[in-house]
Amino acid sequence: MSVREIVLWPDPRLTQTCVPVEAITPEIETLAADMLETMYAAPGRGLAAPQVGVLQRLFVMDVGWKEGKSDPLVCINPMLQEVSEDRATGEEGCLSIPGVLAEVSRPAQVQMVWTGINGARYVQSFDGFAAACVQHELDHLDGVVTFDHLGADARAALMAEYAAQ
């Protein structure tokens, strides 16, 4: 395992739609392990493949590790099956846009289906911070970043703040 370089905004790879993972190969296994190590080193709670320059539909997350409740997930070809009508707004950061926090409104609960690194299919419901994390990482697989969820004024202000760093 190794820590990979995190792609930073405005790298064009962050705006591209990722292709499905065709098979769980040794390269995919290494990518997933490297992504977990990179996420923990950053330190973050989620990381999508395009954030390390790989345009495939894979992300990793571990929302509880900072509180001593580690539960790492490797999500291959994830898809939302259900989203609640209830919304939740919270501050989101992004490892590819360091130093910037944005208020983002998202569905409060989601149900996701994905393939694990072991090849098994999983279905799980997420709420609270985990729901936001799932949606944030799925956004990356579709070429969407935090800035894309903001109105023009908020986007311009945060982009200026990021550029000034």
Minimal CA–CA distance to 4: which of 38, 31, 33, 30? 38
Q: Give alpha helix (H) positions in 42-151.
A: 128-141
Q: Are the beta carbons of 59 and 52 closer than 8 angstroms?
A: no
The answer to whether residue 85 is catalytic is no
Q: Are the beta carbons of 58 and 32 closer than 8 angstroms?
A: yes
Query: Rounded distance, CA 124 to CA 136, Å?
Result: 16
Catalytic residue among 22, 37, 92, 137: 137
Query: Rounded distance, CA 97 to CA 88, Å?
Result: 22
Query: Residues 6 or more apart from 15 whose CB is under 8 A from it?
Result: 143, 145
Residues annotated catalytic, as ranges: 137
